[in-house]
Structure 1
């Protein structure tokens, strides 16, 4: 019986089978499918954000304790990134991705029915651990897209990633206001099974890139990469600090808007997700005409400039006008997306057959940063309020800028500016300039 179930789940339709002589081409519909899958799997991490105050009331716990829910989800995601994502360089990606989506969808049913805060938190950790599909899609796009169009193709998947975050917050706030927050998670279960069906029907059966490599050697090789590639370390440290500002903002924003002087309900808080839609649609064009044209180093600095601008506006006006957080959300989305796409475009050039492991190193730092931002933001807000919590974000972007300026766009060593300062690519066909 189990064998029959296995054969049905992993049976490959004729249109998805790999043909070495005529492999499936990377097309826009496939790019959009990967973006769709990234969108509604990453949403699992963010459904709780606009309803933390409702969860605190229903489970009978204080704000400081309920803020653990996004924290444990991010912790699980970081664990999945480190232990599961490297397998993308070892296993065939179609059965691997399908297994993860199916398990995540099934485990999510527990969130819909549990009445225990501890069980809810534990299931969130497990779901975070298995919700790594987007991070398997991004290296795959890096493998398949032409180098001179890599940033544009990655931007589409990243836009889907951001859409999932926005939709999660929007749907969660609206559904929880009109019915019960449990329906949010039933909707999540349905969407994940829809992703499973879509990928089963259309995802090509790409071959493994490293069939003979040992799993533990793969884990060790990531540490070797960190010691070997300065650009990977620089990109990862920048991502650590910039991503912490994102979760710090969205975690404490719920508390700011739910309390005086705003007293917004969950629908109003969820509608804040709409702010990022314009940023999401802008990113593919931004990737093609800015990131693909200039060296990644310049695009990273430009992205952090947008982040700093938005944070400064929101931090020091948000306590008395809602315009501050609105502008902060928009600039933060633009800045964070563009800097991460530029960094990925750069690091995916260093070891073509190890892109899942390269992405794992990068994303472990991203989600350690998000974990740090969620925890620090919530604790600072509880003790000193909105302005102090966002002042932490100003400092984090400042540190990220120092790390970026420590190493120039063409420097091959750990520190310095050898190779010049030109922001234009010397080789237009390359991804890293």
Structure 2
């Protein structure tokens, strides 16, 4: 791969601590075209993202087993996912912006090594308190995923950025979904603790690979101190309407996503279905198929079709709940609903990231952090709400909740569409 020239970044700050926009991202190569990130490195980043994010989703198909071992009530078991997501949100705010300040290679390797220690802690936890502490650190360090996404967006050529972000982000969603399959199989074979010990070993290997493969980038925003860096995240919401609007949409779609995936284990593991962990985890394969189908949404965003893609995907998301509501009567209907829901969520997510990562090249880590904080809030909200609703009102009530959140996302997009026009809305 041809060596990328350094970005021409303006480092003068305004009073808000956010740098002025840059108009030139990198110089052109001799061929007249900005070289993009190689496919092999892109796929490696996607795999690394999938592994890192899977660490915070292994628990979802294991909630009943973990609850039984540690004596946690079903109505409260969602706290495991909630604590992880809250710490993930903290990491998004406190750690991801460092990608605009520090060498991303050193940052990601350090975070992955800490993850290894946290995963071992969970796998060896003697009680629920130690287990929750380990889960909290796992969530905090899992934000390395967003450092990878900003890294990929920086190295990609502008014309290919949506495509690259789509591929890397597909690794994230597939990692989330296949985490359930992985966790289910290994729990049936060797117990739930083995899931975390194996992941610790894989994460250690990936950290070594990242150390050898990723290039140094040096400081990205030399004139910005850490406190100003954090304040600038909030200012970006004020200065960039697309960030705030897409962040709210992310909150809603990932609330719906979490409503399904956190609570799904409960009806599937209960009579009359009484499925094994392996069978429950296999539904992640259906979700992964939907996510893969949506990976090309970034290319549509590159062509200016982001708003149109978002609208269609949100309609699909709303409709998916009809099939999902039949889960206790037809597993085939559930599979169709799962594929549709994960297709829709991934399509909107990729489109949103492609749109926000185009506005300020020098602030990509902070843009990603701000956006993903809303994602994490949505995931935590969905986890708590779904298990509570299921415990008190059953599966149909869970599906009605998911449909209501999905309808709200569609309505919000329709009302704010004109505030973030792209070429498909201008025509």
Fold shared by both chains (TM-score > 0.5)? yes
**d(CA) in 1 for partners of 2:205, 2:43:** 15
Partner in structure 1 of residue 86 of structure 2 = 75
Gaps of 5+ in 1: 1-14, 413-418, 427-433
The answer as to 2:255 corresponding to 1:262 is no
Q: Deviations over 1:103-127 (max 9, x none)?
A: 1112211111112012101110111
Query: Relative to 1, partners in 2 of residues 1:368 and 1:351: Cα closer, same or farther, differing over 3 Å?
Result: same
- Tell me, what secondary structure is at the counterpart of 2:216? coil
Partner in structure 2 of residue 399 of structure 1 = 408
**d(CA) in 2 for partners of 1:375, 1:204:** 40
Candidates 208, 212, 217, aligned match of 2:228: 217
Query: Relative to 1, partners in 2 of residues 1:209 and 1:152: Cα closer, same or farther, differing over 3 Å?
Result: same
Where does 1:381-400 land on structure 2 (aligned, <5 Å)? 381-400=390-409
The answer as to 2:135 corresponding to 1:134 is no
Where does 1:38-117 land on structure 2 (aligned, <5 Å)? 38-117=49-128
Q: Deviations over 1:77-106 (max 9, x none)?
A: 111011111111111111111100011112
**d(CA) in 1 for partners of 2:71, 2:192:** 15
Query: Relative to 1, partners in 2 of residues 1:424 and 1:405: Cα closer, same or farther, differing over 3 Å?
Result: closer
Question: What is the RMSD computed on CA atoms of the aligned residues?
Answer: 2.3
- Tell me, what secondary structure is at the counterpart of 1:356? helix
Where does 1:399-418 land on structure 2 (aligned, <5 Å)? 399-409=408-418, 411=419
The answer as to 2:421 corresponding to 1:423 is no
Contact 1:261-1:320 at 8 Å conserved across structures: no
1:163 CA drift (Å): 2.3
**d(CA) in 2 for partners of 1:350, 1:245:** 27
Q: Deviations over 1:245-285 (max 9, x none)?
A: 11110111000101122111111111111112322432334
1:351 CA drift (Å): 1.4
Candidates 356, 367, 371, aligned match of 2:380: 371
Q: Deviations over 1:396-428 (max 9, x none)?
A: 11111122112235x46xxxxxx7x962787xx
**d(CA) in 2 for partners of 1:302, 1:206:** 38
1:190 CA drift (Å): 0.7
Q: Deviations over 1:307-328 (max 9, x none)?
A: 112122212x223222232122
Contact 2:49-2:171 at 8 Å conserved across structures: yes
TM-score, normalised to structure 2's length?
Answer: 0.89
Query: Relative to 1, partners in 2 of residues 1:126 and 1:150: Cα closer, same or farther, differing over 3 Å?
Result: same
Contact 2:304-2:423 at 8 Å conserved across structures: no
**d(CA) in 2 for partners of 1:182, 1:204:** 35
Candidates 292, 302, 306, aligned match of 2:312: 302
1:241 CA drift (Å): 0.7
TM-score, normalised to structure 1's length?
Answer: 0.88
Partner in structure 2 of residue 274 of structure 1 = 285
**d(CA) in 1 for partners of 2:416, 2:5:** 43
1:286 CA drift (Å): 4.2
1:69 CA drift (Å): 1.0
